[in-house]
Amino acid sequence: MPTSKTDLTTLTKLGKKVKAERTLEVFPNHAPGKITVTLNCKEFTCLCPLTQQPDYAQIDIIYVPDKFVVESKSLKLYLETYRSEGVFHEHLAVDIAQDFIKYVKPLSVNVIVHFNVRGGIAISADYQWEKGK
């Protein structure tokens, strides 16, 4: 089933020059519970909450959509809001997953953050959530 005009009616960011904000837009899923979507964000940046030095990461978001699929430009803008924010790596995985649950309402979501080496240590954090569990 191709994308219809009604699938686009709630999108306000796609195709427009808009300010980054911590919200996610969605469009209707044509196959609830039958697809798994993987989003791989290789160029994530935030700051250390204490030193304000930059941290760089790759973020993987794997989810099974229910009624909605996240619109990717809104995700890019959402992630951009962290560029000037101090956040611990482990907190980031939780925060992204909880916002994903709030806006996208998936059947399940797994957010994995892989931070680059800094001070000789690379940190990865993995947050998993499944509806009804």
Which residues carry out catalysis?
48, 55
Residues facing 68 on adjacent strands: 28
**Residues 6+ positions from 64 with CB-CB distance below 8 Å:** 33, 35, 36, 37, 106, 107, 108, 109
Could you tell me how far CA 19 lies from the centroid of its own chain?
17
